[in-house]
Amino acid sequence: QKEVEQNSGPLSVPEGAIASLNCTYSDRVSQSFFWYRQYSGKSPELIMSIYSNGDKEDGRFTAQLNKASQYVSLLIRDSQPSDSATYLCAVNAGNNRKLIWGLGTSLGVNP
Amino acid sequence: GAVVSQHPSRVICKSGTSVKIECRSLDFQATTMFWYRQFPKQSLMLMATSNEGSKATYEQGVEKDKFLINHASLTLSTLTVTSAHPEDSSFYICSAPGHSSVDYTFGSGTRLTVV
């Protein structure tokens, strides 16, 4: 069974620090990888997508993908209290566009 | 950008009644819609995939007679929770994949409470 695993946390970092979130996946043929942020009671919103090995940066966010080790991570620089949310890792392993979701990591940024 | 309008955002219903949730794609055609359910502090669990003009595909363990999905047009997909029970109380979310492989548009979610 295809799985996506995340540390559920909670992860707590002080304001201005770097938050590091990790995700591993089981299916080697996985093609696309996503980080979503979800606030309580809201739908997920896309932070980053990545499909090539290496780093992808967008503002304060950097996604890192290592297909050989089957992990994808998200770094949040200069963390802000507004970054406090649950971060969901999702993986698309096939052509049917279905996403497989991790349980999410709860992040708290303390002022 | 693409928008999926989901209604209602919140609904409270009595046990045994049915509730319909609508997801409408605005400014684009959604041939496919994914329907998720999310319990508190849990991740999104895919319930079914609806395809315009054909029967929905349900994930293992999801009762197709209880969760009726209709995708009658390219802009509207509906999920009806029939004979709702308190254990059906959850957050229901729809999502339409876009043209690119990394493009997904989510509805805003429906909080269902069955009393």
Residue with tokens 């919140």: B10
Rounded to an integer, what distance in angstroms lies between the CA atom of residue B29 and that of residue B57?
19
pLDDT digits (tens, 9 = 90+) for A9-61: 899 999 999 999 999 999 888 889 999 999 999 999 999 999 999 999 999 99
Per DSSP, B7 falls in state: E
Rounded to an integer, what distance in angstroms lies between the CA atom of residue B114 and that of residue B71?
25
| Ordered per-residue pLDDT tens for chain B, 115 residues | 789 999 999 999 999 999 999 999 998 999 999 999 999 989 999 999 999 888 999 999 999 999 999 998 999 999 999 999 999 999 999 999 988 888 899 999 999 999 9
Contact B108 A42 (CB under 8 A): yes
Q: Whose CA is closest to B90, among A41, A29, A63, A30?
A: A41
* A96: chain B residues, CB-CB within 8 Å: 49
Strand partners, A58: A61
Strand partners, A49: A34
Size of interface A-B (CB pairs under 8 A): 46
- List the single residue in B32, B43, B102 with the smallest CB-CB distance to A102: B43
Closest residue of A to B92, CA-based?
Answer: A43
Contact B44 A51 (CB under 8 A): no
